Amino acid sequence: DYARLAKDMVDKGARALKFDPMQGMDTFIDTAQFNQAVEAIRLVREAVGDDVELMIDVHGRLSPDNSIRLARAVEPYRIYWWEEPIPTDASMDDLARVARSINIPVVAGERLYTRWGFRDLFEKRAAAIINPDISHQGGILETKKIADMAHAYYISVNPHDASGPVLTAASIQLEAAIPNFLIHEFFSIDIPFYEEVIKDPFPVITDNNYIELPTKPGLGIEIDESALSKRPYKYVDLGAFWASHDEWRETTDRK
């Protein structure tokens, strides 16, 4: 229930929400799937009101034409961004065509590598926002160079952060050092993992939804290795994410 979950998060203090309303869909969608996604977005906007930003993550699943068609259909719901709108094996020209064809800023880059991987995106104006992942790019310094390149094209930066508190700590150090930082997104409000494996409270979020920059040396955090050892690596088939919600839950519950 997208609308219920969205309202719950807003009640907990969230002022921007990102979600994928296309669970179980593939590259080419039929009318029923199209309407399902549009309705999910409509219901979320209705539930949270006009003061909350809504970001849509397509997770690279739609063809360029389907992505354009769906984005245009949900433009009335004031979508803040349209993330990974097409498959990553599509061309940069395809991504640029999507960006030119819709009135929602396109986000891309979490699966690109190094500044050379981003050069074509910048030159073709294929995105308004990039989301480089520090853990993929070669660290903070390489990602800083990518952000500096983006600045010259008036492209903002939203570092991709879906891998835990160490990446969060690295990302906010980068964000404090670049002028084109846009917003930080991560899993925190309803997931206790950070509190369990980091010795001090992290991240510290202010009343107006800013993250306080740590002042300790390095990344500013200290890992509780004893607590972390209680969470050993566990393989999850992320391919199941493209299945329906029930199929995905059944797959992950078996792992």
For 213-223, write each residue's pLDDT tens digit: 999 999 999 99
Same domain, 152 and 244: no
Same domain, 119 and 230: no
User: In this predicted structure, what is the pLDDT of residue 231?
Assistant: 86
- From the candidates 59, 136, 184, 245, which is the catalytic residue? 59
Same domain, 63 and 20: yes
User: In this predicted structure, what is the pLDDT of residue 241?
Assistant: 60
Q: Count how many domains the chain has.
A: 2
CA 217/CA 89 separation, integer angstroms: 40
The answer to whether residue 213 is domain-embedded is no
Q: Is 160 a catalytic residue?
A: yes
Q: Is 245 a catalytic residue?
A: no
Same domain, 161 and 246: no
For 153-212, write each residue's pLDDT tens digit: 999 999 999 888 999 999 999 999 999 999 998 876 566 777 788 988 888 888 888 899
Domain membership of residue 16 as a residue range:
2-193
The answer to whether residue 186 is domain-embedded is yes
Same domain, 123 and 53: yes
* Alpha-carbon distances, residue 192 vs 17, 189, 201 (angstroms): 18, 8, 11
- From the candidates 136, 151, 160, 245, which is the catalytic residue? 160
Q: Where are the alpha helices (DSSP H) in 26-164?
A: 31-48, 64-74, 92-101, 114-123, 134-137, 140-152
For 79-137, write each residue's pLDDT tens digit: 999 999 999 999 999 999 999 999 999 999 999 999 999 999 999 999 999 999 999 89
User: In this predicted structure, what is the pLDDT of residue 207?
Assistant: 82
Q: What is the mean pLDDT of residues 235-253?
A: 59
Which structure tokens are listed for 91? 């061309």
> Residue 181 — φ and ψ, nearest 5°?
-65, 135
Same domain, 118 and 243: no
How many residues are listed for the chain in this entry?
A: 255
Among 176, 193, 210, the domain boundary falls at 193
Same domain, 229 and 189: no
Q: What's the distance, Cα to Cα, between the start and end of the chain in Å?
A: 24
Same domain, 183 and 235: no
Reported pTM = 0.90
Q: Which CATH number covers residue 9?
A: 3.20.20.120
Which residues make Cβ contacts (< 8 Å) with residue 26, sequence separation at least 6?
Answer: 61, 242
